[in-house]
Structures are given as C-alpha cells and as structure tokens.
Amino acid sequence: MAMTRKQRRLVLIGGSIGVLAVAVGLVLNALSGSIVFFNSPSDVLTKQIAPGTRIRIGGLVKPGSVQRGTDLKIRFEVTDGEHDIPVRYQGIVPDLFREGQGVVAEGKLEPGHLLDADTVLAKHDERYMPKEVVDALKKSGRWQEGETASAKGVTK
Amino acid sequence: MIPELGHYALVLALALGLMQSVVPVIGAVTRDGALMRLANSTAVMQFVFVAASFLALTICYVTSDFSVATVYENSHSMMPLVYKISSVWGNHEGSMLLWVLILSLFGALVAVFGGNLPSTLKANVLAVQSWIACAFYIFILLTSNPFLRLAQAPFEGRDLNPILQDPGLAIHPPLLYLGYVGFSIAFSFAIAALIDGKIDAAWARWVRPWTLMAWMFLTLGIAMGSYWAYYTLGWGGFWFWDPVENASLMPWIAGTALLHSAVVMEKRNALKVWTILLAILTFSLSLIGTFLVRSGVLTSVHAFASDPTRGIFILCILVLFIGGALSLFAWRAPMLKQGGLFAPVSREGALVFNNLFLTTACLTVFVGTLYPLALEALTGAKISVGAPFFNLTFGPLMIALLFAMPFGPLLAWKRGDLYGAAQRLMAAFGIGLAVVVFTFLIEGRTAIVSVCIVGLAFFIMAGAVTDLIERTGLMRVPLKVAASRAAGLPRSAWGTAIAHFGIAVSLLGIIAAGTWGAERIVAVKPGQTLSLSGYDLIFNGLKEQPGPNYSSVVATFTVREGGETIGVLRPSKRSFATRSMSTNEAALMARGFGQLYLSLGDSEADGSLAVRLYYKPMVLLIWIGAVVMMLGGALSLSDRRLRVGAPKPARARPAMQPAE
C-alpha cells in the first residue's frame, strides 16, 4: 500500500498536530491543578484565600516566635513586618533557618490562617535572600536598600 | 602583575576574535583562500590567549592573591588546593571565563581537526563561532571582569560558599559547560550553512560528531550535578525540577533530538531544514540556560551575586543571537533544497516520531520553567511550578516515546515493517510483562503506574538486546558467525543499543528510588537504635573534628543487617566560621544498587540528635544509566564512518617498523 506524497505529508502534519494538541492539553490540565501561588503574609490576610488551598508564603522568621515541640515538631511565625502568619511543620528545618532570617514555606492553609507546611526553605548563602522574600518585604516597605548591597555581597 | 596579564590576554583574545568575525566571511565571499585560512590561526590563538587568561586567574586563586576582588570574595588561604582551583569557576566572573575558555577550545578544535571541511564552510563556521565568543568576551570585560583589583588587599578572603566546597564543583561545571558550549559548534555550522545557502548529507556528517561529543559531556554533566545535589542537600532528592536544572535539561533534550534528526539527514538526505532549525534551537536553549542562571532572574544555588546590568547584557546577547539566527533561518531556509518525504512506517519515520515527542516534551519543560517568570512579569502573581506539573506533562510524553523506542532500530530505512518489528520484540515484551507481574506480586497494588514503568524499563533493555541479536543473527546462525558479525557491526549500531539500554537503566533507578524508598526522620539519643528496611543503625555518639577551614561534628552510627555489623556511617555537620554557615555531609552506604542515606539535623534541647535516614533502592542505577548512555555515545563517536575524510591508508605504504 504505497502512499502518495500528499498522504504522507498529511500523516506527518496530522501526527504533529495530534501530539502538540495532547501536549497542550496536558500542560493546561497540569497548570490548573498543580501550581502553587506565592503570597506574602499580608496577601494571605487581604486576599481572603480559602482554607485548604496550597500556597507558598515568604518573609522573615519572626524573632522569638520559634517553638520546638517533640518529634521534631516546630511552630514559627512568618512576618513581612505588617502581618504574621503562624506556620506548623514537622521535620528538620534547613541549616540556615534562623529567627530574623528569610524563609519560604509551602503547604496547606488551615482555617485561622495557619499554614500546615510540608516544605520549609531557607536561603542557602548568608549573602543571599530569596527573591520572593525580598519582594514581600519591599511590598510592605520594610526593605532597606542597604540590604540589597549586603545581599549582593559588595559591602564589608 | 599576573591579574593584569590575564586581563590583557583576554583583551587580546577579543581583538583576535573581532578579526576572526569579519575576515573569514570576506574571504568566503571573495573566494580568497588566504583570508579564509586566517581563521585557522586566529581560532587557535584565541584559545591560547583565553587559556592564558584563565591560567592567570587560577594562579591568583592558588596563591591566594586577595588584592583581586573575586579571589577575596570567593577564596580563603586555608582552603585545600583542589577547592582553591575549583573556586576559580565557583562564582559568576570565573564561571563566565570558563565558558569562553571552552568556547574558544571548541573553535580551536574545529580549526585543527576540520581539515576536511570545504574551505568556505569552515571559514564561515569559525567566523560565527567567533561572533559568539566576542559577545561573551565583551560581556566579561564590561560587566564581569574577574581581574578587578581592590584598592587595599585584605589579609584573608571571604571563603568560597561552603555548599560549593565539594569535589562536585571541580567536575560538574566543566562537564556541563563542555556540553552547553559544545552545541555552539552545531549552531555555527547551521548558520554557516544558511549563509552558504548550501546543505547536504555531508553537512550532517560533519555536525554529528560535534553534537555527539557535546551531548556526551552534557549527559555526564547533568548526571554529575544530580548526584551532587543528591548527596549534598541532605534529603535524598536527585532531581527537583528546579528552573536551573531544567535549563540544562532543555538543551539535552533538543540535542538528543538533533542527534537523531542528523542521522536521517545523513542517511536519507531528508529533514534538512528541520535539522538546521534544531541545531539553532539547541544552542539557543543553552544560551537561555546561561541567561536564566547568570542573570539572577531565578533564585537558586547557581545564582551567584546578581547584578541587573549583567542580566540585561546577557538578554541582549540572547536576543541578538537567537533572533538573528531565527531571522536568518526564516530568510534563507526556503532556499534550501528540500529532501524527500518518506513513509511514516520506516526508520526515518520512527526518528521523526522521536523528534516530535522530544521537541514537544522539551516545550512542556520550557513552559513549566518560563511560565512563572512570564506570569510574574505580566500580572505580578508569583507561582511555583514543581514536580507535579512535570510529572503530568513531561512524564506521559516521555513514557510514550520510550515505549516506541525499541521499535525504531528494528524498522528498515525507506519502508519498515511494523508488524515484523513487533513480532521480533515479542520476547522483549514478554520479559517486560513478566517483570510487571513479578513486581506486582512483591510490591502489591500500591503503585501500579510505577510497576508498569519498571516493566517498560525491562522491555527497553530487552529491546536493545533484541536489536543486537537480530543484527548478529545470534539465535539463527552458528555462534562463530554471530561473533564475527558482531565484530563487523558498525560501532554506531552498538552505540545506539547501548545508549538506549542506558536510558532504561536510568528510568529503572528513577522509578524504584522514587517509589519504593523508605525514610525516617527522628530524634535519637546515643545508644538508641534506628530501624529502616531491615537495617538497624545504632547511634554511638557525636565527636568534634577540626577540618582545614571548618570545624565539624561527626556522628557515628553502626549499621547492622540481620544482627551482623556491615559497616559504619559517619554523617557530619561542618561549620564555616568565615561565612557563619554550616553544611551537611550525608553519609552513604551502597547496598547493591541501593543506598542507605543518613544526614544530620539539629541537636534537640534534650540532647538528642535529629537525623534523616533514607533507604533508596536502585538509586545508583540513575547515574550508572547516564554513564552507560555516555559510553554508547562514545562508541558511536568512534565509528569510523563518522570521521569523514579520515586519512585513508595509503595503498603502497612501506611495511610498518616495529616500535622501539
């Protein structure tokens, strides 16, 4: 069964469009279901995010807010200087997780604006601040340009 | 003095590069052999000067010359020598210098080993290569000069980021860059062909070895980076779908597609325009990767100190080269003579199938990587796209491609017999099915998708073996005949089978370690025992241990299996005073292809120690598979058919002299 040139071209083009259509479908499906929005603590309170939503929040670990429990349970508050969001987590926090330092937490928002986190990320270099944290702080006006310089490691 | 010499050498390389950007092109237009040949010497000299510049910077690091700003920022006099050397590229400025070093190395290699290239093609290729080099020399000299001096030399450096103080830094970036930058050759060939307006099967033969070489290095570089992340980040993950990882994966996928489409072009003189486009896209993705990593638009361990001017500069390079190349393509490609179309069921049809799925899969990674950036720029909303996205998009496409993979090599050129290929794969399919049933019986119905993928991995491995059996006629002809056929088989056929086998090995590791791993995160006190997957770990205690530029706390765990001691795990935490940072050194113990993985957390208030313990079955296969893929590539590269115009043995050569 020899195919004509036209048929061959049709198979090639049809096949390509088919695969692309499947890929677009997969991407749209995945984008609607598996992406996580990033919020600053103020966003969480002002945006009225429904409990049960998976979100990421970023800010500073509020000094004096870290409480360690048994079985590696830990509670702390993330602040952008305006508002604080309590975070609950069980596990080992990163090496550079410290009070007053930048942190990003991801998990499910519980009623009462408590974040039940399954991931806690801290910065990985003392000169470097997660961009999301910087943006959250800039938004609330707590960002000093001096910090930019030290974040870039130019001073000292 | 030495930093100034290094700086000056780089300026000289730029001057040579500018010359090489223009003169050979004029030579190619006017058919002036002398002008074209100029590129040969300038390409080699460019490499010599960049190497001198790189050497100068290395000397600054080795001698701890803290009057040089980057040395002060990234080195420390107490650091072991190997880290002093690798910290040359453990920062933005130095890593860009490594980038151009490798770029100029490839240019020099083309000049030296491209003796059999048509002279105009070679002149144009070297000119295009030099355009890229010049853009990056200017970038380094204007925005990222690694030789800048400090007014007053400090006594001590600020140390290298402790996370980077690892043998991984000595290996991973050079390998990755050899891959990334190696694709520039394919790009230069594509542009040169478009300028020439001439392209044929021979072109594909010239491009393929270079692409293959870059692909091999990139394969190893990505695997090495993945292993480094695995043992250093302390939680046993080997791939995070981090944008920076994706930035290296995209050129790899596109490069893989290019390797396959170049075969069609070489053998059947078809898919020419597509191959040119892929060559452009592959290197464009490398440039985009460089932009994403070096511009600071992403936050990652790879983003060193970021500076907006650098980002904009790289963006300009990006727009200039990708935009320029694609415009040239749009203008000139229609003038290229199209190859013939072919039957959908044939070897070339299978390779088109491969290209279609690889490019689509690459596109999904591209969307997942850049969508958050685009969304933030347009709406200000910040999102993170993680593993779930890629598992739902990249995953199914790759599974479909991998399932089809064993069929490809069994189809004949021009007109294949799908039914015949399926028949020959029956045994392989049976093996895959048996593995599915077997795994299902052991592991139960918890992870049915993973069970099926394990079967798929075995199907692919058996399929690769089937391919070799079919080619040698192993089951049909006497063993001796089969052996001589195996020896006579082109090495590229072996390469294909081995590389395809390798990807199945990696797939098996990824699925097994990801699905059937076990983990425990607990706090233990000295004397207590931790149990996981049949292993008992007894915590013996903590000990302080000084290092060259850090102090460390080492925990000792005795590992027992079935009551017998099989070894000791010593995970540690290192504190680096200079940067007030600590790093986690996980302890690993191989059990077959699996690994026990133990890393330390914080000490609790009650004197207990938080630890993470993982058992990762088959995890080593992930990287072993990558090495197997690389070896397949190496075999294919050694195929003498690829060495076009390799010096043919002279007919009347005098008898060889015995070596003395």
Q: Which residues of A touch B277 (CB under 8 A)?
A: none
Percent residues over pLDDT 70 in chain A? 76
Percent residues over pLDDT 70 in chain B? 94
Q: Inform me whether the pLDDT recorded for B279 exceeds 90.
A: yes
Which pLDDT belongs to residue A149? Answer: 33
Confidence band (pLDDT; 50, 70, 90) for B97? very high
Q: Inform me whether the pLDDT recorded for B66 exceeds 60.
A: yes
Mean per-residue pLDDT, B117-141: 95
How buried is B197 (Cβ within 10 angstroms: 0-12 exposed, 13-18 middle, 19+ buried)? exposed
CB contact under 8 Å between A15 and B344, yes or no, is yes
What are the φ and ψ backbone dihedral angles of B532, each rounded to 5 degrees? Answer: -155, 130
Residue of A11, A22, A31, A103 to mutate, testing the B interface (most B Cβ within 10 Å of its Cβ) = A31
Mean per-residue pLDDT, B57-77: 94
B516, B442 Cβ separation under 8 angstroms: no
Residue type, B649: P
Dig out the tokens for B525 from the structure.
């006190």
User: How many CB atoms are closer than 10 A to CB B14?
Assistant: 21
Measure the CA dihedral A154/B1/B7/B8, to 10°. 160
B259/B177 Cα distance (integer angstroms): 18
Eight-class DSSP state of B351: H
Task: Summarize pLDDT for B489-544 with one digit per residue, the tens.
Answer: 989 999 999 999 999 999 999 999 999 999 998 889 999 999 999 999 999 999 99
Which pLDDT belongs to residue B300? Answer: 53
B333/B362 Cα distance (integer angstroms): 23
Q: Which residues of B touch A128 (CB under 8 A)?
A: 299, 303
Q: Inform me whether the pLDDT recorded for B18 exceeds 70.
A: yes
- Nearest-CA distance B481 → chain A (Å): 36
B434, B450 Cβ separation under 8 angstroms: no
Beta bridge partners, B505, equal: none
- Among residues B562, B566, B565, B546, the alpha carbon closest in space to that of B554 is found at B546
Nearest CB among A37, A71, A124 relative to B381 is that of A37
CB contact under 8 Å between B601 and A3, yes or no, is no
B572/A60 Cα distance (integer angstroms): 28
Termini Cα distance of chain B: 46
Q: Inform me whether the pLDDT recorded for B43 exceeds 90.
A: yes
What are the φ and ψ backbone dihedral angles of A48, each rounded to 5 degrees? Answer: 55, 50
CATH for the stretch A37-152: 2.40.50.140
Confidence band (pLDDT; 50, 70, 90) for A143? low
Which pLDDT belongs to residue A126? Answer: 47
Dig out the tokens for A95 from the structure.
């090496």
Place of tokens 């491969």: B354
Which pLDDT belongs to residue B624? Answer: 97
Mean per-residue pLDDT, B21-47: 94
Q: Find residues 96-135 of chain A whose CB sits inside 8 Å of chain B.
A: 96, 106, 124-128, 130-132, 135
Residue of B298, B391, B393 to mutate, testing the A interface (most A Cβ within 10 Å of its Cβ) = B393
Mean per-residue pLDDT, A139-146: 57
Confidence band (pLDDT; 50, 70, 90) for B443? confident
Which are the contacts of B312, defined by CB distance < 8 A and separation ≥ 6? none
Residue type, B22: V
Q: Inform me whether the pLDDT recorded for B366 exceeds 80.
A: yes
A10 Cβ under 8 Å from any chain B Cβ: no
Cα separations in angstroms, A47 against A55, A138, A143, B117: 12, 18, 22, 64
Closest chain B CA to residue A124: B301
Confidence band (pLDDT; 50, 70, 90) for B216? very high
DSSP class per residue in B272-293: HHHHHHHHHHHHHHHHHHHHHH
Confidence band (pLDDT; 50, 70, 90) for A145? very low
Q: Inform me whether the pLDDT recorded for B656 exceeds 90.
A: no
CB contact under 8 Å between A30 and B522, yes or no, is no
- Nearest-CA distance B16 → chain A (Å): 33
Which pLDDT belongs to residue B306? Answer: 58
Nearest CB among A20, A35, A72 relative to B383 is that of A35
Task: Summarize pLDDT for A73-122 with one digit per residue, the tens.
Answer: 899 999 888 889 999 998 888 777 888 888 888 899 998 889 999 888 87
Dig out the tokens for A103 from the structure.
């942190």
Q: Which of the two residues, B25 and A59, has the higher pLDDT score?
A: B25
Query: 3-state secondary structure string, B288-322?
Result: HHHHHHHCCCCCCCCCCCCCHHHHHHHHHHHHHHH
> Among B32-41, B85-94, B368-377, B644-653, which stretch is predicted with the lowest mean pLDDT?
B644-653
Closest chain A CA to residue B611: A92
Closest chain A CA to residue B371: A31
CB contact under 8 Å between A30 and B523, yes or no, is no
User: pTM for the complete prediction?
Assistant: 0.90
Residue type, B561: E
Which pLDDT belongs to residue B76? Answer: 92
Own/partner long-range contacts of A119-125 (Cβ < 8 Å, ≥24 apart) = A120/A87, A120/A89, A120/A91, A120/A93, A120/A94, A121/A94, A122/A93, A122/A94, A122/A95, A122/A96, A122/A97, A122/A98, A123/A96, A124/A94, A124/A96, A124/B163, A124/B301, A125/B161, A125/B163, A125/B301, A125/B579, A125/B581
Confidence band (pLDDT; 50, 70, 90) for B408? very high
Task: Summarize pLDDT for B221-271 with one digit per residue, the tens.
Answer: 999 999 998 998 777 889 989 888 899 999 999 999 999 999 999 888 888
Q: Inform me whether the pLDDT recorded for B360 exceeds 60.
A: yes
Confidence band (pLDDT; 50, 70, 90) for B201? confident
Q: Which of the two residues, B290 and B135, has the higher pLDDT score?
A: B135
Closest chain A CA to residue B307: A152
Beta bridge partners, B541, equal: B556
Closest chain A CA to residue B386: A35
Q: Which of the two residues, A51 and B81, has the higher pLDDT score?
A: B81
Mean per-residue pLDDT, A2-21: 83
Nearest CB among B73, B303, B363 relative to A23 is that of B363
Which pLDDT belongs to residue A155? Answer: 25
Residue of B143, B152, B370, B389 to mutate, testing the A interface (most A Cβ within 10 Å of its Cβ) = B389
Q: Which residues of B touch A126 (CB under 8 A)?
A: 579-581
What are the φ and ψ backbone dihedral angles of B535, each rounded to 5 degrees? Answer: -110, 140
Beta bridge partners, B615, equal: B518, B596
CB contact under 8 Å between A29 and B341, yes or no, is no
Q: Find residues 72-101 of chain A whose CB sits inside 8 Å of chain B.
A: 72, 91-93, 95-96
Residue type, A77: E
Average pLDDT value over all residues in chain B:
90
b/e code B244-277 from CB counts within 10 Å (16+ = b): bbbbbbbbbbbbbbbbbbbbbbbbbbbbbbbbbb
B279/B290 Cα distance (integer angstroms): 17
Q: Which of the two residues, B307 and B539, has the higher pLDDT score?
A: B539
Chain-centroid distance of CA A102 in Å reads 13
Q: Indicate the helix (H) or strand (E) that contains B519.
A: strand B518-524
CB contact under 8 Å between A8 and B342, yes or no, is yes
Confidence band (pLDDT; 50, 70, 90) for B304? low
Which are the contacts of A37, defined by CB distance < 8 A and separation ≥ 6? A55, A56, B381, B382, B383
Beta bridge partners, B535, equal: B532, B561
B527, B538 Cβ separation under 8 angstroms: yes
Confidence band (pLDDT; 50, 70, 90) for B386? confident
Eight-class DSSP state of B149: B
Confidence band (pLDDT; 50, 70, 90) for B163? confident
Q: Which of the two residues, B640 and A9, has the higher pLDDT score?
A: A9
Confidence band (pLDDT; 50, 70, 90) for A156? very low
CB contact under 8 Å between A8 and B343, yes or no, is yes
What are the φ and ψ backbone dihedral angles of B237, each rounded to 5 degrees? Answer: -85, 150
CA gyration radius, chain B? 27
- Cβ contacts below 8 Å, chain A against chain B, sum to 121
Which pLDDT belongs to residue B641? Answer: 63
Query: 3-state secondary structure string, chain A?
Result: CCCCHHHHHHHHHHHHHHHHHHHHHHHHHHHHHCEEEEECHHHHHHCCCCCCCEEEEEEEECCCCCEECCCCEEEEEEECCCCEEEEEEECCCCCCCCCCCEEEEEEEEECCCEEEEEEEEECCCCCCCCHHHHHHHHHCCCCCHHHHHHHHCCCC
Confidence band (pLDDT; 50, 70, 90) for B311? confident
A83, A64 Cβ separation under 8 angstroms: no
Q: Which of the two residues, B287 and B297, has the higher pLDDT score?
A: B287
Eight-class DSSP state of B148: P
A28 Cβ under 8 Å from any chain B Cβ: no
Q: Which of the two residues, B405 and B658, has the higher pLDDT score?
A: B405
